[in-house]
Chains A and B, each alone.
Chain A
Amino acid sequence: MATQTAVDVVMPQMGVSVSEGTITKWLKAEGEEVAADESLLEISTDKVDTEVPSPASGVLTQILVPEGETVEVGTKLAVISPEGGGEAVEEPPEPATQQAAEESADASGAEGETPTAGKVEEPPPPPSPEPAAETPAPAATPEPDGDGDGQGRSFVSPVVARIASEHDVDVGQIEGSGRGGRVTKKDILAFVEQGGAKAAPEAPPAPAAPAAPQTPAAEPARAAVPAQAQAEKVEPAAGETVEPMTPMRKGIAEHMRRSLDTSAHVTTTFEVDLSKVVAIRQKLKREYEERHGVKLTYLAFIARATLDAIAKWPWMNAEIRGESIVTKSYVNLGIAVALEGGKGLIVPVVKHAEEKNLLGLARAVEEIADRARNKKLMPDDVQGGTFTITNPGGFGAIHGTPIISQPQVAILDVEAMVKRPVVIQDDAGSDVIAIRPMMNLCLAYDHRLIDGAYAAQFMRDLRTNLQTWDESAY
C-alpha cells in the first residue's frame, strides 16, 4: 500500500531479551523505490540474522543508520516517503505516553522514539513548593498546604512525638512545613537545634535521674501561650558568660511564674515519726527484692498513706475550672524527679495510683524512675496528674515551700528523715525521751479552694496513717 505520509522503518525486536541489532546490509539505496513488504535491509542480532521488510510502498528517502552500526530496538532506521513526494516529512514519532511528545529536538535524528522499548525522557519535574524554612518566624498560624484536609496541623507522627517527648517540646508551637501544616521531623529537629526561638512551650520534659528537685516540673500547658516577642540577643559583658535557655528551662520558668500568679500558695509542715514504717520496711525489704524484684522505698509508704488521706479529703486532689470545683474519683500521682546537671525536672505520673497496694506503688515508682532514667517516657506519662509528691529530702533539707503544679491544688514536699530526740509517753504514761526517725512533710496548697483546717486535717490523717501503719492492709 502506498503511503500518504512518510513512514518510519524501525529496528525490530527479534526476541524478548534482545535489546539491540546491527545493520549488516542495506538492500536499497536512498532515493530508490520500494514496495511494501519488500526486503529493505539485513540485520544481525544476538539471536538471529534476518531481513527487514518495508512497512510501506514509496521512496526510501532517508537512511538514518549506516551499515555496521548497532542501535537499540525501536530506533528509527529510515524513512519511506510517498511516491513523488518531494521533502521527506518527518512524522512525529508515535508517543507511547504524553511524555514522548515532550521530547526535545536533539532526540530526533539518530536515536528516535520507540514504540516498544527504550527510555522515555522525563520533563523536568515541576518545582515543588519549598517547605517552610526553619527560621524562627513568629507567624502564629502555618501556611495551609494544597492538601487542605485540615488534619495536617494536629497530626503528630510517631517520630515527631518521640522527639518532642525527648526534648520537652510542645509541637503546637512549631510551624509545620508538611502537608496541611503538619510539623515534620525536619521541622522539629531544626526547632530543637535552634533552641526553639518561639514562645516557650511546656510539655513532657526529658528523662531524669531521681534526685531532689526544689520545685516540681511543668505539665503540658493547656492554656494558650501568648506569643512572645523574639528573645533579644544578650551580649556578655566582661566576666559574664551567656547561654541560651533550653526549651525545658523556658518551660519551667514560665510554669513556675504562672503557678505563683494563679494559686494562693500556703505551706503547712507536719513532723512524722517514721519508726513503724522503718521497722516494716526493714521486714519487707528482702522479700520485695527477692520475690518481686522491687526496691521498697519510703516513698512508696508515703504515697500509699497520702492516697488514703486523699480519699478522706478529696479536695486535695481537685481542680478549679473557672468558677467550678472539679473533684476526681481517681488519683494520678505525680512523682517529681530531677534531671542530672540541673537541666530541669520531670514529673512522671502513676495513673490510678489509688488502686495500687504497697507493692504496686513500689513497683510503679521504680518502673517510672527507670523509664525516666532511660529516656523512655512517652507524652502520656507526664500528663494528667492530679496530685504531686516531690522528694528533695535526699540532700538533707528539712523544710520546703514547694510550688503547686498547675492545674492541681496541692503538692507534698517530703523532707529528710533525721534521727531526733523526741518526747514520748512510756507505758506508765510518763514523759520520756526517745530517739526516733523523724521526717517533715510540707504541704503547699491553694487557698482559693482549700482552707487551713482542711489542709491540716488532711496532714494529720496522713501522719496518722504513717505512724500507725497497718501492715495487713497493704
Chain B
Amino acid sequence: MAVKTYLQAISDALRDEMRRDKRVFVIGEDVGVYGGAFKVTKDFQQEFGPWRVIDAPLSETAIVGGCTGAAIMGMRPVAEMQFADFISCAWDHLVTVAAKQHYRAGTAVPIVVRLPSGGGFSGGPFHSQNPESSFAHIPGLKIACPATPADAKGLLLSAIEDPNPVLYFEHKHLYRRIKDEVPDERYTIPFGEARIHREGDDVTLVTWGAMVYTADEAAKQLEDELSVEIIDLRTIAPWDRETVLESVAKTSKALVLHEDTQTAGFGAEIMATIMEEAFEDLDAPVKRVTAPDTPVPFAPPLEKWFLPQVEDVVAGLKDLAEY
C-alpha cells in the first residue's frame, strides 16, 4: 500500500503494465520527450524507448485510428489525447470504425484512449469538457471515469485488458489534488460496478469523476440533518444500474450530479432508468444537478457559475429532503 496522487497512480499503473506486457505501448502528442502535457508519462521514453512511447504528429485521427490498426494486429495501444476535448478530432474514426468493428466483423479492437477531462482552472471551452455522454450513446464503446487513485489504477488495467475500445477519462482537476492509498499489487476493477462512496438512508446521490468530492463535501455539510448515500459509478458504459436501483429502493429519493452540461448529459439516462425501473419506490421526482447548457466559460466567475458547486448540491439535496 502506498499513498499516491491520482496522477501518480495512473502513471505507475501504466508503467507497471508496460513492464509486464510488451504489447502495451503509448502514443500521443508530446508523450515521449516531454513526458506528456500533464507529465503522466514522465521518463517513460527513457525506460521503454521511442517505439513504445511514441511522439505522434498533431493528428488525432491518425493516433486513434492507428491504435485500432495496431490493436487488431495484436498490440495493446494506449493513446493519450492531450485534452479530452480533442477527441472530437477523432470522433469519426472512433464512432465509425472502432466502435462498430466487432459488431460487423467480429473483430475485437482492444484500444484505450486516455482523456484528461474536466474543468475548474480557467481552461476555457476547449480544455475543460466532459464529453462522456456523447460516447455513451454509441454502442461498442466503453467508458471509465475514476475518481480515486485506487480506482484509477484498477480501471486503467481493466481498460487495457478489455477487448473493446475504452475511453478512459482522467479528471485533470484530480491529478495532483487527490492523494490516497493505492494497493501495490496488480488488480483490476470490473466495468459496470459502482462504489458506494458514502452510505446513507435518506437520499441517493449518483455521480462520478471529480463531482464525487463535491458531493462528499455537500453530504458532510448536511450530515446532521440528512443521511446521504453517495454512489460513485466509476464507469459510464456499462454502468451499475443494480446498485443505483437498490439504493433508490432504500431511500426513495434520488439526485444525479454531473459536471457535464444538462441536456442529454448522462444523468438523463440514469433518471430515465430510475423512472422506468423504480417508479414505485420514489417518494419524490428524481433531481439532477449539472452544468448549464453552455460551452465551458473562461473567466473565473463564469466558470464558477458553470461548474456545479458544493452549495448547488447542498441546495439540491435539501430540496429533495423537504419534498
Q: Does chain A touch chain B in the assembled complex, meaning CB atoms less than 8 Å apart? A: yes
- In the assembled complex, the CB of B301 is this many whole angstroms from the nearest CB of chain A, namely 7
Is A17 part of the binding interface, using a Cβ–Cβ cutoff of 8 Å? yes
Q: How far is the CB of B114 from chain A (nearest CB, A)?
A: 14
Contacts of B122 in A (CB 8 A): 16, 116
State A145–B321 Cα separation when bound (angstroms): 13
Q: What 1/0 flags go to A339-383 for Cβ under 8 Å of B?
A: 000000000000000000000000000000000000000000000
CB distance from A145 to the nearest CB of B (A): 8
**Nearest CB in chain B: distance from A151 CB, A:** 11
Give chain A interface residues in 95-111, CB to chain B under 8 Å: 96-97, 99
A158 to B310, CA, bound (A): 30
With an 8 Å Cβ cutoff, the count of chain B residues facing the other chain is 36
Q: Which of A97, A129, A159 contacts B281 (CB 8 A)?
A: A159
Interface: B323 (CB within 8 A): yes
A and B contact pairs by CB, cutoff 8 A, 9 listed: A17-B7, A17-B116, A17-B175, A96-B300, A99-B311, A124-B221, A128-B225, A128-B318, A157-B282
Q: Is B304 an interface residue (CB 8 A)?
A: yes
Whether the pair B283, A18 counts as a contact (CB closer than 8 A) is: no
Q: How far is the CB of A447 from chain B (nearest CB, A)?
A: 43
Bound CA–CA A19/B217 (angstroms): 19
B314–A17 CB distance below 8 A = no
* Residue of chain A at shortest CB distance from B249: A159
In chain A, what residue has the closest Cβ to B175?
Answer: A17
A96 lies within 8 A of B304 (CB): yes
B39 in the interface, Cβ–Cβ < 8 Å? yes
B172 close to A (CB within 8 Å): yes
A20-42 residues at the B interface, CB under 8 angstroms: 20
- Asked if A158 contacts B323 (CB within 8 A), the reply is no
Interfacial chain A residues near B309, Cβ < 8 Å: 120
Select one of B116, B283, B310 contacting A159, CB under 8 A: B283
Query: Nearest Cβ distance between residue A156 and chain B, in whole angstroms?
Result: 10
- What 9 A-B pairs are tightest by C-beta distance, nearest first? A185-B283, A17-B175, A158-B280, A19-B176, A16-B121, A157-B283, A185-B252, A162-B280, A19-B177
B323 touches A178 (CB 8 A): yes
Residues of chain A at the chain B interface (Cβ within 8 Å): 13, 16-20, 46-47, 96-97, 99, 115-117, 119-120, 122, 124-125, 128-129, 131, 145, 157-162, 178-179, 182, 184-185
Asked whether, in the complex, the Cβ of B300 is within 8 Å of the Cβ of A16, the reply is: no
Given contact pairs A96-B304, A117-B120, A122-B310, a sample of 14 additional A-B residue pairs in the complex whose CB atoms are under 8 Å apart: A16-B121, A16-B122, A16-B127, A17-B175, A20-B176, A46-B176, A47-B39, A99-B311, A124-B221, A128-B225, A158-B283, A159-B280, A159-B281, A179-B323
Q: Considering the complex, give the chain A residue whose CB is closest to the CB of B300.
A: A116
Task: Contacts A46-B39, A96-B304, A185-B252 given; indicate if A128 touches B322 (C-beta within 8 A).
Answer: yes
Residues of B within 8 A of A131 (CB): 322
Binding site for A on B (CB under 8 A): 7, 38-39, 116, 120-123, 127, 172-173, 175-177, 217, 221-222, 225, 252, 279-284, 300-301, 304, 309-311, 314, 318, 321-323
Report which of B172, B284, B323 forms a contact with A16, defined as CB distance below 8 A: B172
Contact partners of B221 in chain A: CB under 8 A: 122, 124-125
CB distance from B223 to the nearest CB of A (A): 11
Among B127, B222, B284, which residue has the most Cβ atoms of chain A within 10 A?
A: B284
Q: B176, A179: Cβ atoms under 8 Å?
A: no
Which residues in B have their C-beta under 8 angstroms from that of A161?
280
Report chain A residues within 8 Å CB of B217. 119
CA distance A340 to B225 in the complex (A): 41
List A contacts of B39 (CB < 8 A). 46-47
- With A96-B304, A117-B121, A185-B252 known to touch, is A158 a contact of B318 (CB < 8 Å)? no
CB distance from A401 to the nearest CB of B (A): 40
